[in-house]
A and B are shown apart, each in its own frame.
Chain A
Amino acid sequence: MIEFHLNGRSGLSPYQQLVQQVRHALRLGLLKEGDRLPTVKDVASQLAINPNTVLKAYRELEHKGLVAARPGVGTFVTRTLADKSLSAHGPLRKELERWLTKARLAGLDEESIEALFLSTFRGAGEEVA
């Protein structure tokens, strides 16, 4: 079981944050296939948020095929995001570290590195889309 939290400064709406947190937990292996998500009522009560928001997040996860709702029982994880990508993490991390060293040698400070990374990341995202 995981516990949700909301960050007022994240810029994401509450429902997006819930979706993101489930995906994150799936990716990190905190949630595995067959695990039950907290009930809508529990999440609504614990976070003092609208139950419809929780429902909407769960529906989106369901739509993406990550969870399945079993009426009267609860919402269960049907797929995990961890297996495929975890193995690729290591090599990618190594490459990124090499790139970071290069960037520092070129005289970029932390802030410039972050800005460069984010703008490239966003630009690449738009191309793919």
Chain B
Amino acid sequence: MSTVIRARGLGKKYRQRWALQDCELELPAGRVIGLVGPNGAGKSTLLNLAAGLLAPSSGSIEVCGGPPAADVAQLARVGFVAQDTPTYGRLSVADHLTLGRRLNPGWDDAVARERIDRLGLDPKQRAGTLSGGQRAQLALTMALAKRPELLILDEPVASLDPLARREFMQLLMEAVAEQELSVVLSSHLVSDVERACDYLVVLVDSRVQVAGDLDELIATHHRLVGARRDPATLPGSQQVISASHTDRQTTLLVRTQEPILDPSWSVDGINLEDLVLAYMDKSAPVVRRPRLEVQR
């Protein structure tokens, strides 16, 4: 399987602070990849680096086989929908399409017009007076009409209401069905990722905690509940992601390719949200609470 984004020791520093550091990443082509992680994990920085909007401070990133935004051909390969889906407020919808047509050699004007028509957008309306949902649709239409190999979406639906969010995702999924397209989409809404994506990357503190086919990840993670015991006694094939104990009971989240045969466990599947949360928790730094001590 070919790779659409490859990062090696990638880092981006703003003044004194690293927004992304030592990021290693390899994303397969032809998938809809969900990038999830807590705020400040570096998702947005990573996507901006991939779109060529930022230059790396260290390491390297390759997109569709070359450095991002290196030349016109590279720029044409990548579509980008930025956070909050900015558009030119004073330009009309039709102006935006003209802009896209004039600035992109591979622009598909017929598709763009058809989509705008179907979305019910008035071509004469100024983008500044569109609703958030319509603006997002316009930005997505523009990114798609460019006919990119890779479409990058940075939290595109974060600020939209549920209906607009659904409509946006419908347009996106329809395009994925129609066009040969790799998609990387960052979101903190697990429900969107669950429906739209077939590949998951959990990014915490610049590090990829887990990456893989979504169904496979769900199928290989299990919740085990049983009498209290030490997780170290599990077979080597079972990787413990998270563990919690009461004085009697132990609850584990394990990843394994093999069936769990130990009858002392009650085994349960997990949903995507649990999986994501477990990986986010796992890497969270341990906060030591100061203990109150009796002064003598």
Query: Do the beta carbons of A50 and B271 come within 8 Å of each other?
Result: no
Kindly list chain A residues whose C-beta atoms are within 8 Å of the C-beta of B166: 48
Give chain B's interface secondary structure class.
helix
Select from chain A the residue with minimum beta-carbon distance to B270.
A11
Query: Do the beta carbons of B195 and A48 come within 8 Å of each other?
Result: yes
Known: A13-B215, A14-B194, A14-B195. A51 touches B176 (CB 8 A): yes
A8 contacts chain B at the CB level, 8 A cutoff = yes
Specify which of A6, A11, A41, A45 is in contact with B195 (CB 8 Å cutoff): A6
Q: Count how many pairs of residues, one from A and one from B, have CB atoms less than 8 Å apart in the complex.
A: 51
Which of the 9-residue segments B14-22, B38-46, B74-82, B167-175 touches chain A? Answer: B167-175
Query: Do the beta carbons of B269 and A53 come within 8 Å of each other?
Result: no
Looking at the assembled complex, report how far the CB atom of B139 sits from the nearest CB atom of chain A, in whole angstroms: 17
Query: Do the beta carbons of A41 and B174 come within 8 Å of each other?
Result: yes
Specify which of A8, A13, A49, A56 is in contact with B196 (CB 8 Å cutoff): A49
Known: A6-B195, A13-B215, A14-B194. A51 touches B271 (CB 8 A): no
A residues 3-38 in Cβ contact with B at 8 Å: 6, 8, 11, 13-15
Select from chain A the residue with minimum beta-carbon distance to B196.
A50
Known: A44-B177, A50-B173, A51-B173. A11 touches B215 (CB 8 A): no
Specify which of B170, B178, B191, B218 is in contact with A13 (CB 8 Å cutoff): B218
Known: A6-B195, A48-B169. A11 touches B271 (CB 8 A): yes
A47 contacts chain B at the CB level, 8 A cutoff = yes
A53 and B218 alpha carbons, distance in the complex (Å): 14
Looking at the assembled complex, report how far the CB atom of A11 sits from the nearest CB atom of chain B, in whole angstroms: 7
A117 and B173 alpha carbons, distance in the complex (Å): 40
A11 and B270 alpha carbons, distance in the complex (Å): 8
A52 contacts chain B at the CB level, 8 A cutoff = yes
B32 contacts chain A at the CB level, 8 A cutoff = yes
Kindly list chain A residues whose C-beta atoms are within 8 Å of the C-beta of B171: 45
A41 and B174 alpha carbons, distance in the complex (Å): 6
Kindly list chain A residues whose C-beta atoms are within 8 Å of the C-beta of B196: 48-50
Select from chain A the residue with minimum beta-carbon distance to B195.
A49
A46 contacts chain B at the CB level, 8 A cutoff = yes
Select from chain B the residue with minimum beta-carbon distance to A53.
B198
Looking at the assembled complex, report how far the CB atom of B265 sits from the nearest CB atom of chain A, in whole angstroms: 15
Known: A8-B191, A11-B269. A52 touches B198 (CB 8 A): yes
Select from chain B the residue with minimum beta-carbon distance to A52.
B198
Looking at the assembled complex, report how far the CB atom of A125 sits from the nearest CB atom of chain B, in whole angstroms: 15
Specify which of A8, A45, A53 is in contact with B170 (CB 8 Å cutoff): A45
Kindly list chain A residues whose C-beta atoms are within 8 Å of the C-beta of B191: 8
A40 contacts chain B at the CB level, 8 A cutoff = yes
Select from chain B the residue with minimum beta-carbon distance to A40.
B177
B47 contacts chain A at the CB level, 8 A cutoff = no
A14 and B195 alpha carbons, distance in the complex (Å): 7
A41 and B172 alpha carbons, distance in the complex (Å): 11
B252 contacts chain A at the CB level, 8 A cutoff = no
B197 contacts chain A at the CB level, 8 A cutoff = yes
Looking at the assembled complex, report how far the CB atom of A45 sits from the nearest CB atom of chain B, in whole angstroms: 4
A50 and B176 alpha carbons, distance in the complex (Å): 8
Looking at the assembled complex, report how far the CB atom of A119 sits from the nearest CB atom of chain B, in whole angstroms: 13
A25 and B57 alpha carbons, distance in the complex (Å): 56
13 A-B pairs whose Cβ atoms sit less than 8 Å apart in the complex: A8-B191, A11-B269, A13-B215, A15-B215, A41-B178, A44-B177, A45-B170, A45-B173, A48-B169, A48-B172, A49-B173, A49-B195, A50-B195
> Chain A: residues with CB nearer than 8 A to chain B?
6, 8, 11, 13-15, 40-41, 44-53, 56
Leading 9 A-B pairs by shortest Cβ distance = A45-B174, A48-B169, A51-B177, A41-B177, A44-B173, A48-B170, A49-B195, A44-B177, A52-B198
